Amino acid sequence: MFKLLNLTKDNLIAIKIDGKVRKEDYQMITPLINGRVKDYGKIRMYIEIESIEGVEAAALKEDLKTYIKHFNHMEKVVVVGKSKWQKLWSNLASPFVSGEMKYYSEEEITDAVRWILD
Give the separation between CA 63 and CA 59, rounded to whole angstroms.
6
Check whether domain 2-117 has CATH 3.30.750.24, yes or no:
yes
In whole angstroms, what is the distance from residue 19 CA to residue 75 CA?
Answer: 27
d(CA 83, CA 55): 17
DSSP state of 99: S
- Residue 9 DSSP symbol: B
The 10 Å Cβ neighbour count of residue 99 is 16
pTM: 0.90
pLDDT in tens, 30-73: 999 999 999 999 999 999 999 989 889 999 888 888 878 898 99
60 with 23: CB under 8 angstroms? no
Domain regions of the chain by residue span:
2-117
